[in-house]
Structure 1
Amino acid sequence: MTHFEPTKNKVLFGSSDKLADWITEGIDQGKIIDKIRLMLKNYLELDNVSFLFGSGTSVHLGAVAIRNFPKEVEEFILDQGLKGEFYSTIEELQAEVIKGKLDKEVFTDVRGWEFVVDETIYRDNESKEIAIEYEKVLNYLIAKDFVLKEDKSKERTDKINELIISIKEGLFKVCDLENRPVSQTIIDRKKASQFEKDKEQGTLLETRSKYIFHEKFVKALLQRPLNLRRANIFTANYDLAFEYAFDKLGVHYIDGFAGFHKRFFKPETFEYDIFYPGSTTSGKVQRIEKVVRYFKLHGSLSWVNSESRDSNNLYGIEEKPLELIETLNNKGEIIIYPSAVKKSYTLDLPYSELFRQFASTITQSQSVLITIGYSFGDDHFNDIIYQALSNPTFTLIIVDFAGTKNDYIKSMKELNDPRIIILEGVFFGDFLTFSDTLMPNFNNVDNNEKVANTLNELFSSKATQQEPTKEPEK
């Protein structure tokens, strides 16, 4: 039986904490979990279901969170001899963000996180990472490089381009999950029922699959009735955790790319689907079950600027295996993060198309968006979500470890809108719990487990019947 600590979790419908109410009413924890699972089942049976995943869904795999500038990327940049250029950039950005507070010893940002000054640079008080988002640094440098490139009156002596390449290459190394150890905390956490069962049997995560929780989520999601639209998975993560999980399960994913040996970005493929051919002369076809629509809104480690453009590659964007990208001399060709200086500026492809798909999908009637491990730190996403909330049939479910401790999510709670549901805390706000314990089982009983249990009962019964009867001792 899975247990959780009530004081470290919340289940908010609007501004009302239903979890506290249920505990007061004396409802046991198993029934509370059943209530939440049933609630999720009802929403997942809507026709238009979407998920938005943030960095909180990959941290257990060894990926770094990019709410601050990753320490490992910083160390990589320093190894490249770019210390002066890098730290001067950080000082410029922090002076703007912190608004002249660099002379103070401690700075607390809107998220409630505390940062301390180290010489002239603020760092996270716990992790010692530089207190500025990775994407903000990259975005700033790309914009600055563009401005300097346009000014033909001066000869450039800066190393901005080298710094951009170094930042991307450093991130590539820390987001390449295949070459990073799984966080030991995932082995130690008493989290999900099935995982505990595996641990009791002595089966460690590494001997099964690093991506077991992504696989569990996808398997549960694919149980939705086939008469519903394909589920949509949107992610802001650069890593390939979902891709590895899809491959392990044999799931087809429509991600905007087409081709085999050469895979190029073709946004029209988002409208494609996969069917079995008609088995009768009437031409009736049947949908293939294992298909999802998959959108990487901030780009991917596996996307690069293509060497050439032609009629088959109009956008100049190619998807490659990480093993080939590892051999590239210029990691600056990796396509990650939409580099608009301000959110009001026009985004270039592929981001303009990806964000258009996100907006058109979640703003349809009878839609539900479930965000998991996303801290609402991206204004592009937030604007689209706020727009969707203007639709009276839209529902937003937020699954986040910090929950309302985050000012962005707290502001959502303060809207007191019952269409906004927040699962918060070390249990209910965690991706591992969500994928393994909270995702509903649409088939009620897993067919394979049912068959296995039936066979075990049959063989057990047969063995009992054949056991020889012993003569009583005299």
Structure 2
Amino acid sequence: MPSLSTTSNKILIAGENLINEWIVSSNLHKLRTLIKNYLELDNVSFLFGAGSSIMLGSISIATIPMAFEEAIKNIPNHSPGSVGNEAYSEFLEIVSTLQKTSEVKRQEWMENGNKVTGNIDFPLESLLNNLTAIDFIQDNSTGLISKHYVSELIATLKEELFKTCDLETLSNNPRGMQEEDIKNLTANKFFFHEKFAKKILQRPLNLKRANIFTTNYDLAFDMAFDRLGIHYINGFSGFHKRTFKPETYDYDLFFPGSTTQGKVTRIEKVLKYYKIHGSLTWVQTEPTGNNVYGIEEWPIELVKAKREYKRLMIYPSAVKKSYTLDFPYSELFRHLASAITQPQSVLITFGYSFSDEHINDIIYQALTIPSFTLIIVDFKGTGNPEIARLSSFKDPRIIILEGDQLGTFPFFVDQVLPDFIEENIQGKVAETLKNVYDNKDRDNGKSNPPAGPPGDQNASDKPREGGTDSTESNIDLPF
């Protein structure tokens, strides 16, 4: 196991860094026990952002990548004889207007004493949001706005976004990863997403299904679930023609019951999966009686073959909440709110930058519930202004794990997430040792048997309510 640096990582609880108290000789036992206790709550939800896909070759869209600019330059002029690149000129004009500058502002940094310029310093999702608004106004208000290449710009940006999120065509980005992790990722691109799913499915069956929310468009979790044969409820119904039916989120899967006993048993490998910003495989179609929302889920190979990228249901996240959310997004946000506002709920965010105000409002509303806990896992952590603001509240229900190890997906899955089966075996060993010492002490006429196995005076043989029987050390939950 790689040693954990206590200088480049933090465990913040109520705004206080406890890593030196919690981590002894790189032993993460106390942290894993804390996470395990939360995972044994009835209402468990995860929210994944871009940080869970960076190692797979995905890139950040907090700016407009240069590759997107190059693609826009290839949009042909409407008039064959016209001079210059009209689409690119219109693109720069729109961006500078949104930036409120006379010229397009780019990222800048110094390299070997020279100033280097990079990507356009404007969020890609925000640009798509504004282009969509312009396109809508032009379609419904003749002459109010006069832009000639908006439709082509949207289609081109979505095509490039599709390429940057089509993970199976991208090379891995193993920077900062351990050699063993690189080997696993090379052998199986979705190794850590699969391992995450396996661990979450080890939760006791008497608990509610875990909810997996993601703002990512890519298919990392989709592929991992498929490879493991997991039944994931993602809001679509049908086989050859899959259409969006949000009522399916209220369904569950059971084995057929006995007609004599009237009992049913829940199927084990089931998760609820919400892609709250859309997906590479969601396509807008004409609404019909059987598809009232006009949304279909296509195989990714069909999307590539048809090349109708403008129809992709990729949600442009509004920085300012000035537009009413339409289906399916309003329905997906409603499910997020419902999931995390239940009593005794925990939301674990990973690699989410808190840049979507709709999601943030839902999380902040949940924080008004005393039994709600928010666990933030992020590489930058309090280097992000919004996460720093949450930490400044000094609320014990807000736990932040950050740093170059705790904030990386492989380390989080491997070392922080508990393995319920392994932990329970260790618990049984501890229980056996306790019984051995109990019997030995009784045979010797002694009283007061030890509280747990040698070296673990905090062990408990009392199982958590609604959870698994474990003799691990219990960490008090802050509610």
Same fold (TM over 0.5): yes
Structure 1 position 131 matched with structure 2 position 121: yes
Structure 1 position 190 matched with structure 2 position 178: yes
Report the AA paired with residue 178 of structure 2: K
Number of matched pairs: 409
Find the aligned partners of 2:382 and 2:211 in 1 and give their Cα distance. 26
Secondary structure of the structure 1 residue equivalent to 2:382: helix
The 5-angstrom pairing of residues 164-183 of structure 1 reads 164-183=154-173
Find the aligned partners of 1:13 and 1:177 in 2 and give their Cα distance. 35
What TM-score, normalized to structure 2? 0.81
Report the AA paired with residue 26 of structure 2: Q
Q: What's the counterpart of residue 110 of structure 1?
A: none
Distance verdict in 2 for CA 1:392–1:150, change over 3 Å:
same
Q: What's the counterpart of residue 347 of structure 1?
A: 325
Find the aligned partners of 1:226 and 1:367 in 2 and give their Cα distance. 17
Deviation at 1:371, TM superposition (A): 0.3
What TM-score, normalized to structure 1? 0.82
Q: For residues 157-192 of structure 1, what are the alpha-carbon distances to aligned partners after superposition, in whole Å with 9 as ceiling and x for unaligned?
A: 61111111111111011111111111242xx6228x
Q: What's the counterpart of residue 3 of structure 2?
A: 3
Note if contact 1:339-1:347 (Cα within 8 Å) is conserved in structure 2.
Answer: no
The 5-angstrom pairing of residues 67-78 of structure 1 reads 67-78=62-73
The 5-angstrom pairing of residues 202-351 of structure 1 reads 203=183, 205-207=185-187, 209-306=188-285, 308-338=286-316, 342-351=320-329
Find the aligned partners of 1:17 and 1:247 in 2 and give their Cα distance. 39
Distance verdict in 2 for CA 1:375–1:156, change over 3 Å:
closer
Secondary structure of the structure 1 residue equivalent to 2:33: helix
The 5-angstrom pairing of residues 386-401 of structure 1 reads 386-401=364-379
Note if contact 1:143-1:341 (Cα within 8 Å) is conserved in structure 2.
Answer: no
Q: What's the counterpart of residue 18 of structure 1?
A: 18
Q: What's the counterpart of residue 455 of structure 2?
A: none
Deviation at 1:148, TM superposition (A): 2.2
Note if contact 2:47-2:349 (Cα within 8 Å) is conserved in structure 1.
Answer: yes
Note if contact 2:75-2:152 (Cα within 8 Å) is conserved in structure 1.
Answer: no
Deviation at 1:75, TM superposition (A): 2.3
The ranges of structure 1 where at least 4 consecutive aligned residues each deviate by more than 3 angstroms after the TM superposition are: 20-23, 124-127, 153-157, 338-342
Q: For residues 271-313 of structure 1, what are the alpha-carbon distances to aligned partners after superposition, in whole Å with 9 as ceiling and x for unaligned?
A: 001111113422311111100000001000000012x432221
Q: For residues 126-176 of structure 1, what are the alpha-carbon distances to aligned partners after superposition, in whole Å with 9 as ceiling and x for unaligned?
A: 882211111100001111121222222479561111111111111011111
Deviation at 1:341, TM superposition (A): 7.9
Secondary structure of the structure 2 residue equivalent to 1:7: coil
Find the aligned partners of 2:319 and 2:217 in 1 and give their Cα distance. 20
Find the aligned partners of 2:89 and 2:414 in 1 and give their Cα distance. 46
Find the aligned partners of 2:412 and 2:157 in 1 and give their Cα distance. 33
Deviation at 1:64, TM superposition (A): 1.3
Q: What's the counterpart of residue 473 of structure 2?
A: none
Deviation at 1:359, TM superposition (A): 0.7
Deviation at 1:407, TM superposition (A): 0.5
Q: What's the counterpart of residue 88 of structure 2?
A: 83
Secondary structure of the structure 1 residue equivalent to 2:260: coil
Deviation at 1:342, TM superposition (A): 3.9
Q: What's the counterpart of residue 28 of structure 1?
A: 25
Find the aligned partners of 2:42 and 2:352 in 1 and give their Cα distance. 23
Deviation at 1:406, TM superposition (A): 0.7
Report the AA paired with residue 30 of structure 2: K
Deviation at 1:204, TM superposition (A): 5.2
Secondary structure of the structure 1 residue equivalent to 2:281: strand
Report the AA paired with residue 75 of structure 2: Q
Q: What's the counterpart of residue 109 of structure 1?
A: none
Note if contact 2:244-2:295 (Cα within 8 Å) is conserved in structure 1.
Answer: yes
